[in-house]
């Protein structure tokens, strides 16, 4: 029988593998509910507390980005640490 830390590590690896396969980076910033439903599907675990612990572990690993958009916290799966291009304006007078 595995202990909880081994189970958590295995599930986090499985979730990261699936999200990479699905190219979830391209989904952009999503609410926690989006990732929660995906993680439930991937792991077949319905325990909300355990799912949140898996998500927190992914945040600690640095594969999730957090951003405040119009008063709501959004997250993006970003295992490659890509940055958004900085928009620039060219004004001709």
Contact yes or no for 75/30 (Cβ under 8 A): yes
Q: Where are the beta strands (DSSP E) in the chain?
A: 64-69, 72-77
> What pLDDT, in 10s, does the model give residues 15-64?
999 999 999 998 989 999 999 999 999 999 899 999 999 999 999 999 99
User: pTM for the whole thing?
Assistant: 0.81
User: Per-domain residue ranges for the chain?
Assistant: 27-79
Question: What is the structure's pLDDT at 3?
Answer: 66
Return the SS3 of 56: helix
- Other beta carbons less than 10 A from residue 76's beta carbon: 19
> What pLDDT, in 10s, does the model give residues 63-75?
999 999 888 999 9
Asked whether the CA dihedral 71, 87, 61, 31 is positive or negative, the reply is positive
Question: What is the structure's pLDDT at 38?
Answer: 94
pLDDT at 1 over 50: no
Q: Which residue has the higher pLDDT, 90 or 22?
A: 22
């Amino acid at each position: 029988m595995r202990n909880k830390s081994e189970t958590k590590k295995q599930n986090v690896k499985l979730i990261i593998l699936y999200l990479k396969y699905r190219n979830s980076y391209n989904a952009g910033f999503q609410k926690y509910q989006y990732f929660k439903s995906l993680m439930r599907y991937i792991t077949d675990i319905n325990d909300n507390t355990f799912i949140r612990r898996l998500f927190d572990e992914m945040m600690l690993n640095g594969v999730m980005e957090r951003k405040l958009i119009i008063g709501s916290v959004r997250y993006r799966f970003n295992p490659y640490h890509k940055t958004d291009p900085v928009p620039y304006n060219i004004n001709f007078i």
